[in-house]
Structure 1
């Protein structure tokens, strides 16, 4: 009798296991069955938010579901990232983050997550920055600006949009390349910094082309160079030299964005999202919008999960060196 009961229980256990496995496989095959949330760890209307919304729009068709954007800002992007790192790994909560993800562990003692808590889904784009100044600055090209910085040094105010922001990272590279000690002035975002730069309260800023093109076009700021190794194809910037050709040999800085999921997201779901991302990044409307902002869409091996991770590790190592040599202690 006892053996018979054991056999029945064993049979039920095997059946339950089989049903669970079948249900899991069906869930994977049916993914996605509902809307997907992309968390942006920065404010609505900012460059990362604009990019995430454009990508979400282009992802909607290949994913076959609506994509909802959730802005979870604060602490240099770490709050939103930690939210995704702790989310259920079922493919319904994703993250769009920029270069700041590669610097977070060098800038913060405890950002609230580990890089190992995330799955890499593919790199999205790269955006160069522009070196700009207040309109009245007494320098009309990069050679004059370099001389001006050497003379004034710490008397020059260099604005940034907060610790870990793209403008902060670009400023660190600029300080290092010029061997200068300009005074960093952090703001709570790009908009107030740009307002003070146009108003002449701040001297210089190294800001994403996405944010500075309108001000450059309307001559509300002066521009001295772009941070990529190639000149930009946008009408307002075609005549602007790269900082590399202007005299800062090898200067190469771009803000990139990637797509991430919580660790342990099943491989078939990771592959499904990656395949959809590849389709989305070929969307002509998305390409047109990004190029108008001076942003190039990634179209190489960094589009794969493995290529994205490899690139990320190189960037994290590079920035760890830049941040240490600047004498910045993690907060």
Structure 2
């Protein structure tokens, strides 16, 4: 009799336990294992650097290991697709830049839809600089505008490949100048920068984090900063924005955002957004970013809704710019 009663109680406990697990009450609190930040580009680049900085700050807030995984290829679409298809549990996240908003206009087949991603908040944004080769005749943007127009499309503009920040900035610049230039694509920023310093190409629109050392060393000529405000970096402080130098309203920044797979539980998304907010207040992270002229986001774009609204605006903006440039999706 006692054995039957014990067996009955054990069966009941198992059933209750199963119900609790199924309903989520017995689950361990998120996170209970390492979180992976997928960067859809090679190690060592700007996106990789910010992801590693954010990973360190998120580790402090989440209380778990945060790993960075580089899944490069196809303009960032391979790594993005990996996260879009990942289990929506908050353990596989994506750090991506402006290229996520331009990809729909540049690629026919992405391997994912942006609706398959949950927006967690914008991380940062950084301006680029318009630089020229040493000895380029024009001094200042007004002279450069006249020089470009007189060249009738012969002046060349280096970039790190279709869809890169330097390429996008160049497209926006060409549209604002209403003058054509010859775009010269390279396999990355390093060879493009090498050739502009060597005088093989005329102009380049490059992220300030990469161009500042060359500007400071006078290895290139600086014509303007692409952001809405002048850079706080001492070496760039005296350089006007392109907007104030003659292209009113010109504003180009390279931004990064954090994403999770669509379907991730709301409670996990909320915890991740709070962790991101805390991470971006980390004095060590803010100091590192500001030293490079990068602005850490502190406005409404840090919220999921604000991030999504900004992203949609960027998609519309770049779709128009890319279409007007006559670029056909690959």
Structure 1 residue 186, shift from structure 2 partner: 1.1
1:107 aligns to 2:83 (yes or no): no
Provide the TM-score with structure 1 as the length reference: 0.93
Q: Report the aligned-residue RMSD.
A: 1.6
Task: Give CA-to-partner distance per residue, 1:96-118, whole Å, 9 cap, x none.
Answer: 00011001001000111000010
Aligned residues: 319
Task: Give CA-to-partner distance per residue, 1:235-284, whole Å, 9 cap, x none.
Answer: 11111001001001110111110000111111111111111000000011
d(CA) in 2 for partners of 1:196, 1:253: 23
The aligned counterpart of 2:130 is: 131
The aligned counterpart of 2:285 is: 286
SS of match in other structure, 2:271 = helix
SS of match in other structure, 2:87 = coil
d(CA) in 2 for partners of 1:57, 1:188: 30
d(CA) in 2 for partners of 1:172, 1:35: 40
Task: Give CA-to-partner distance per residue, 1:6-40, whole Å, 9 cap, x none.
Answer: xxxxx999857623334x3443x511111111111
The aligned counterpart of 1:220 is: 219
Structure 1 residue 153, shift from structure 2 partner: 3.3
d(CA) in 2 for partners of 1:289, 1:195: 26
Provide the TM-score with structure 2 as the length reference: 0.93
The aligned counterpart of 1:18 is: 19
SS of match in other structure, 1:172 = helix
The aligned counterpart of 2:29 is: 30
Task: Map 1:1-331 to 2 at 5 A.
Answer: 15=16, 18-22=19-23, 24-27=24-27, 30-331=29-330
Structure 1 residue 126, shift from structure 2 partner: 0.8
d(CA) in 2 for partners of 1:174, 1:304: 30
d(CA) in 2 for partners of 1:37, 1:25: 25
Structure 1 residue 306, shift from structure 2 partner: 1.0
Task: Give CA-to-partner distance per residue, 1:146-171, whole Å, 9 cap, x none.
Answer: 11111113211111111111111100
- Is the 2:37–2:93 contact (alpha carbons within 8 Å) kept by the matching residues of 1? yes
- Is the 2:96–2:258 contact (alpha carbons within 8 Å) kept by the matching residues of 1? yes
d(CA) in 2 for partners of 1:313, 1:292: 30
Structure 1 residue 43, shift from structure 2 partner: 1.3
d(CA) in 2 for partners of 1:165, 1:192: 14
- Is the 2:20–2:26 contact (alpha carbons within 8 Å) kept by the matching residues of 1? no
d(CA) in 1 for partners of 2:316, 2:18: 44
SS of match in other structure, 1:154 = coil
- Is the 1:76–1:162 contact (alpha carbons within 8 Å) kept by the matching residues of 2? no
d(CA) in 1 for partners of 2:73, 2:91: 22
SS of match in other structure, 2:257 = strand
The aligned counterpart of 1:4 is: none
Q: Give structure 1 stretches of 5+ with no counterpart.
A: 1-10
